[in-house]
């Protein structure tokens, strides 16, 4: 089979190599899956760089989120068991963790439903307890993680403010349903959000960026607001001033979605059932901006790493792949 492999750490475009290898052999509790589509996530780039919290042995195949087919023909969503990731014709996964792919979504959309939307659902509902009528601010609102949070926020009845970088991404954020869009390259984010909220700020702030975005969040969080720390795509991990959280009376909430797979897997299934319902209703639909063939995976991972893509980029095997 064909599979992308990383033999040394570095930038995705430089270290990912497409090779002909033997299909992986399932271990105890694992199943072999035929990959139909693999969604590209920022952690795929971190894996290539050796900067992710999980460091599979070299060589490994990246790709942490797939829509695939079981040997008995079921269409499923899975997180592949590294080092046999999803940028390949076949991958391995934990048999107990397979989730049914929603009929309302195609393969690329289904592959993109899992990590970003589960993270958004847990962040907004489990951690921040977002309520209808509240104001949600989403950093990097046109990206893969941010776009999921925007749709989930709208589905929950929140007023959504999207912060983006550039006019193209601003247009995408508006199409996603943001009530207010702030282009950080053309506007003062703090001033624009304060104006949009009458000086009150946002009840919930969803931050997958860190760095300067977190500094803005601390200035924009409302009384009894909640900042959900999802990741650090900027490459800079902020050091919050806890005295500031005290005097402004807000909460800083960390979210590591992967922990729920071991700490409370039943809740992951409940979330997937809810996401499937929302997808069937048309309330959420992964924004797949590009579908690339398997041989285009390395370049696509690099572009996601460089922050020049919008929505989700999916590697599609067989029919449906188009650059």
Q: What percent of the chain has pLDDT over 70?
A: 98
Tokens of residue 14, six digits: 């430089």
Phi and psi dihedrals of 189, rounded to 5?
-60, -45
Quick one: DSSP state of residue 102?
P
Query: b vs e for 8-47, b when ≥16 Cβ sit within 10 Å of the residue's Cβ?
Result: eeeebbebbebeebeebebeeebbbbbbbbbbbbbbbbbb
Instruction: Look over the chain and give the mean of its residue pLDDT values, rounded to a whole number.
Output: 95
Whether the Cβ atoms of residue 146 and residue 140 lie closer than 8 Å to each other: yes
**pLDDT for residue 322 is more than 90:** no
Per-residue confidence band for 318, with pLDDT thresholds at 50, 70 and 90: confident
Each residue's pLDDT tens digit, 64-121: 999 999 999 999 999 999 999 999 999 999 999 999 999 999 999 999 999 999 999 9
Q: Among candidates 304, 315, 310, which has minimal Cα distance to 150?
A: 310
Tokens of residue 251, six digits: 């909460």
Q: How far apart are CA 269 and CA 55, in angstroms?
A: 26
What angle is formed at CA 24 by the lines to CA 19 and CA 29, rounded to 5 degrees? Answer: 155
Each residue's pLDDT tens digit, 2-20: 999 999 999 999 999 999 9
Tokens of residue 255, six digits: 């979210």
Which of 2-6, 56-60, 180-184, 316-320 bottoms out in mean pLDDT, i.e. has the lowest? 316-320
- For range 266-275, the mean pLDDT: 96
Per-residue confidence band for 323, with pLDDT thresholds at 50, 70 and 90: very low
- For range 21-50, the mean pLDDT: 96
Each residue's pLDDT tens digit, 285-307: 999 999 999 999 999 999 999 98
Whether the Cβ atoms of residue 63 and residue 2 lie closer than 8 Å to each other: no
What angle, rounded to 10 degrees, do the helices at 167-176 and 144-155 form?
A: 30
Amino acid 319: pLDDT: 60
Q: Among candidates 322, 285, 294, 284, which has minimal Cα distance to 38?
A: 294
Per-residue confidence band for 234, with pLDDT thresholds at 50, 70 and 90: confident
Amino acid 46: pLDDT: 94
HEC profile for 195-262? HHCCCCCEEEEEECCCCHHHHHHHHHEEEEEEEEECCCCCCCCCCCCHHHHHHHCCEEEECCHHHHHH
């Amino acid at each position: 089979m064909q599979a992308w492999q990383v033999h040394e750490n570095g930038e995705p475009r430089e270290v990912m190599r497409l090779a002909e290898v033997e299909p992986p052999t399932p271990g105890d509790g694992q199943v072999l899956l035929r990959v139909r589509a693999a969604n590209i996530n920022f952690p795929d780039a971190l894996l290539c760089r050796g900067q992710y919290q999980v460091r599979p042995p070299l060589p490994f195949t990246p790709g942490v989120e797939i829509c695939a087919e079981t040997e008995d023909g079921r269409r499923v969503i899975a997180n592949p068991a590294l080092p046999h990731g999803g940028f390949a014709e076949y991958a391995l996964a934990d048999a107990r963790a397979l989730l049914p792919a929603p009929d309302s979504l195609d393969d690329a959309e289904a592959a993109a439903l899992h990590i970003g939307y589960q993270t958004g659902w847990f962040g907004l509902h489990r951690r921040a307890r977002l309520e209808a009528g509240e104001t949600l601010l989403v950093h990097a609102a046109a990206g893969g993680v941010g776009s999921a949070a925007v749709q989930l926020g709208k589905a929950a009845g929140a007023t959504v403010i999207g912060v983006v970088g550039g006019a193209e991404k601003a247009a995408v954020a508006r199409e996603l349903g943001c009530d207010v869009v702030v282009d950080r390259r053309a506007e003062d984010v703090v001033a624009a959000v304060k104006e949009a909220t009458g000086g009150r700020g946002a009840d919930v702030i969803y931050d997958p960026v860190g760095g300067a975005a977190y500094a803005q969040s601390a200035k924009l969080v409302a009384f009894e607001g909640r900042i959900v720390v999802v990741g650090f795509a900027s490459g800079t991990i902020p050091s919050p001033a806890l005295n500031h959280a005290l005097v402004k009376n807000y909460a800083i909430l960390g979210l590591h979605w992967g922990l729920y797979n071991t700490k409370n897997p039943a809740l992951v299934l409940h979330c997937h059932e809810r996401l499937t319902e929302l997808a069937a209703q048309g309330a959420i639909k992964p924004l797949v901006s590009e579908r690339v063939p398997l041989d285009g995976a390395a370049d696509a991972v690099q572009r996601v790493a460089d922050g020049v893509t919008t929505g989700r980029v999916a590697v599609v095997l067989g029919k449906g792949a188009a650059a």
